[in-house]
A = this chain, B = another copy of it.
Amino acid sequence: MLERIVEEVAPLRGAGVAADYIPALARVDPGRFGIALADLDGQVHGAGEWETAFSVQSISKVFTLALVLAGTDESLWRRVGREPSGNAFNSLTQLERERGIPRNPFINAGALIVTDELISQVGDASGDLLAFLRAESGNPDLRVDEEVAASEAAHADRNLAVTHFMASYGNVRNPVPEVLDQYVRQCSIEMSCRDLALAGRFLAAHGVRRDGTELVTNRQAKRINAIMLTCGTYDAAGEFAYRVGVPGKSGVGGGILAIVPGRCAVAVWSPGLDVRGNSVAGVAALDHFTTLTGWSIF
């Protein structure tokens, strides 16, 4: 079935444009495509360039959120909301109206709070994240792409503004430069569709990792999935919910992680983005997938 999806989305490969605000991402060929599926048993299958590493970018927010919830039993929710934002992903207007409390953990402001919380818990947040991703994917070679990280750090004014702004409301615990550094590093991790599907599998498995231990409770896994469905794809969550019908989180590197609760995790990658920052061929592939399987929730 995955091979069939590769064929069906072939006409869409190259549609859209690669993210251009980070030079290191802008150079990627928008026509590339890969897809992988990890089932509850930890088996993984793939098609296309499913073993090629790409920059996960905002998809990392799903994992830092899970790691923080694993550590704090939801004290995080005093510092960040859980509702859709209805604005461009980096708007400061909404943050001002709500006095420094971001709407949800997947807009940049919210993800910066999550990273700040993870720093408070473990110190080296991106290192902790990398250790988790290596263990779950079984790939000890996962690493931060230092060129991408440097490129993002050099274009971080908007995120620095957001973080200092929240700090002015007392909603940041650690020094702003440290929060930014860890945030940039987490976004710059490189993973393949294979790695990503395996790493996200625990969200399909009610919070249980491949080794059988519980990372988060069933309730927390439901929580994360619900936030993915309502807030995971920037300002296109309603459209994604309709077309794909399962929780998903996209990144401007062109990747999308989708979760079918109780069944599997699916990762797709194609760098051509639509105007809202989601992979054109990636969304189409997931649309085909849920149509073929009948696993849409609507």
Task: With CB as the reference atom, state the residue of chain B lying closest to A260.
Answer: B297
Over the window 250-291 of chain A, the binary record of Cβ atoms lying under 8 Å from chain B Cβ atoms (1 yes, 0 no) is 000000000001000000000000000000000000000000
User: Closest CB of chain B to A203's CB: distance in Å?
Assistant: 9
Q: Does A184 contact B (CB under 8 A)?
A: no
Q: Does A4 contact B (CB under 8 A)?
A: no
Q: Does A93 contact B (CB under 8 A)?
A: yes
Q: Does A222 contact B (CB under 8 A)?
A: yes
This chain's copy number in the assembly:
4
Q: Does A135 contact B (CB under 8 A)?
A: no
User: Closest CB of chain B to A124's CB: distance in Å?
Assistant: 24
Interchain CA distance A231-B229 in the complex, whole Å: 12
Interchain CA distance A158-B169 in the complex, whole Å: 9
Task: With CB as the reference atom, state the residue of chain B lying closest to A162.
Answer: B161
Do A86 and B94 form a contact, CB below 8 Å, given A226-B242, A245-B222, A297-B261? yes
Q: Does A236 contact B (CB under 8 A)?
A: yes
B residues in contact with A94, CB < 8 Å? 86
Is A237 a contact of B83 with CB atoms below 8 Å? yes
B residues in contact with A82, CB < 8 Å? 238-239, 242
Is A230 a contact of B84 with CB atoms below 8 Å? yes
User: Closest CB of chain B to A289's CB: distance in Å?
Assistant: 15
Task: With CB as the reference atom, state the residue of chain B lying closest to A93.
Answer: B93
Interchain CA distance A103-B163 in the complex, whole Å: 23
Do A238 and B84 form a contact, CB below 8 Å, given A222-B296, A297-B261? yes
Is A237 a contact of B230 with CB atoms below 8 Å? yes
User: Closest CB of chain B to A112's CB: distance in Å?
Assistant: 12
A interface residue numbers (CB < 8 A to B): 81-87, 91-97, 103-104, 157-158, 160-165, 167-168, 176, 221-223, 225-227, 229-231, 235-239, 241-242, 245, 247, 261, 296-298
Task: Beyond the given A82-B239, A83-B237, A93-B97, please list 20 additional residue pairs across the A-B interface where CB-CB is below 8 A.
Answer: A81-B238, A82-B238, A83-B238, A84-B85, A84-B237, A84-B238, A86-B87, A92-B92, A93-B93, A104-B238, A157-B164, A157-B176, A158-B165, A158-B168, A160-B164, A160-B176, A161-B167, A222-B242, A229-B298, A231-B238
